[in-house]
Amino acid sequence: MASEIHVDDIGTKFTITIKDGDSIVDISDAVLVLLIIRKPDSEIITRNASFTSNGEDGQVYYDIMDGDLDEAGFYKLQAKISFQNGVFYTNVHTFQVHCNL
């Protein structure tokens, strides 16, 4: 059975690989990496993301905390990476959070 994300899950890890087209972006020089989540009710939450290694692989992650996934429905997720000379946004990803019994 495939894993599902549920209301009030805590510790679910979201990993995003930053790409420009098909190429992985080296983000090791980033000064700030944020994860932006839009909830089904359109509330926006912004969380600090972390490198999975040193940033050269373009990967960042965030572990969901209490209150992040507090309603069922479709959420949107986007990373924002800030460098000294500019800001880069990823594509927007959609995921579903399911009800509990």
- Condensed to tens digits (0 to 9), the pLDDT of residues 49-69 reads 999 999 999 999 999 999 999
- Look at residue 2 and tell me whether its pLDDT is greater than 80: no
Query: Where in the chain are the domains?
Result: 5-98
Give whole-number Cα distances, 13 to 26, 61, 62, 83, 86, in Å: 21, 7, 6, 24, 27
For 68-77, how does the pLDDT look when each residue is reduced to its tens digit (9 = 90+)? 999 999 999 9
Distance CA 101, CA 98 (A): 10
Second CATH level (architecture) for the domain 5-98: Sandwich (2.60)
